[in-house]
Amino acid sequence: MTQDRPRVVVTRKLPDPIETRMMELFDVQLNLDDEPMPKADLIEAVKTADVLVCTVTDRIDSGLLSQAGENLRLIANYGTGVDHIDLASARQRGITVTNTPDVLTEDTADMTMALLLSVPRRLTEGERRLRAGDWNGWSPTGMLGHRIYGKRLGIIGMGRIGTAVARRARGFGISIHYHNRHRVHEDTEQELEATYWESLDQMLARMDMISVNCPHTPGTYHLLSARRLKLLQAHAVIVNTSRGEVIDENALTRMLVGGEISGAGLDVFEHEPAVNPKLLALDNVVLLPHMGSATHEGRIDMGEKVLINIKTFVDGHAPPDRVLGEGF
């Protein structure tokens, strides 16, 4: 790696201020079109780059990394989730992986709360009816939904985002429950008046709303399986702003079609950008195009994290956001 001007390949279009600063600091190859980098170009990138700046739309698997050149020593992921990167293969090849934690917490928690409000109150369904001209005025029984005040929310994954969701939900008078690999600090539990459930199955069966906030890892793939989804009460609502692979999407769709659960708010999908056509046809589902962290401020903050990680690594120090492990 050239210390002064390392070769950095960026796989997607990033905010202009971030790209400009990268050009000032490094020898950079930008992606001028905001489209995923084709596989052939991605192979060429790992062969020639000192640093690869990738995103969730890139599949950095063992096959790709086996073709990496000797100079590739850092994969600076533009995003928090790293389930698209084969961390074991990177580690074996001596490639450091970094991400951009913390900066997306509040934005994602905001979107989670928006979905928790939208699904029970049928907001998008009402908006669609209004635009379609299918509204004849106020009615005592028109567009009835459910209040969220006093309901129980079960949070799966009580990390930064899950905790931020809990703080927002408390402001709406919602009772906080959570399942996590490790119990959070007692002070946090007391602040949020949160109830810890060691058994995910037991928590699911008792909640009015579920929020998925754990990362996608081999251990959380289909964590909400068909069996576990069957534990939900018929009036329950489920929201996912984490990763689509955490939920068995086909099983969830069948239950929503059959009225076995009340509704869902989904910002992520198991096979995105593909979305199950049956989900698109449902009124009791709010669907968003993976925009939970999509704010101007958040995207700039992510880019600044990437810049710091690259500069620190090039200067011979351990980058602050090195990815060391998995879990939730």
What is the tens place of the pLDDT at every residue in 265-313?
A: 999 999 999 999 999 999 999 999 999 999 999 999 999 999 999 999 9
How does pLDDT run across 192-220, given as a tens digit for each residue? 999 999 999 999 999 999 999 999 999 99
The CATH superfamily assigned to 105-287 is NAD(P)-binding Rossmann-like Domain (3.40.50.720)
Chain position carrying tokens 């449902």: 282
Question: Strand order of the sheet with strand 175-179?
Answer: 195-196, 175-179, 152-156, 209-212, 237-240, 263-266, 285-287
Structure tokens that stand for 220 in this block:
């959380």
Within 13 Å of residue 139, how many CA atoms lie on the same side as its CB? Answer: 7
Active-site residue, selected from the candidate residues 7, 243, 249, 270 = 243
Strand-pair partners of 285: 264
Q: What is the pLDDT of residue 244?
A: 96
Q: What is the pLDDT of residue 4?
A: 72
Active-site residue, selected from the candidate residues 191, 272, 304, 326 = 272
Within 13 Å of residue 183, how many CA atoms lie on the same side as its CB? Answer: 11
Distance of CA 28 to the CA centre of its chain: 27
Concerning whether 243 is annotated as a catalytic residue, the answer is yes
Q: What is the pLDDT of residue 327?
A: 43
Q: What is the pLDDT of residue 2?
A: 53
Q: What is the pTM of this model?
A: 0.89
Examine domains 7-103+295-314 and 105-287 and report if their fold is the same: yes
What residue ranges do the domains of the chain occupy?
Answer: 7-103+295-314, 105-287
Concerning whether 290 is annotated as a catalytic residue, the answer is yes
All residue ranges of the chain with pLDDT < 70 are 1-3, 325-328
Question: Are 306 and 100 a contacting pair, CB within 8 Å?
Answer: yes
**How far, in Å, CA of 161 to CA of 184, rounded?**
13
We find that the CATH architecture of domain 7-103+295-314 is 3-Layer(aba) Sandwich (3.40)
Q: What is the pLDDT of residue 325?
A: 62
Distance of CA 275 to the CA centre of its chain: 16
Concerning whether 189 is annotated as a catalytic residue, the answer is no
Active-site residue, selected from the candidate residues 160, 168, 170, 290 = 290
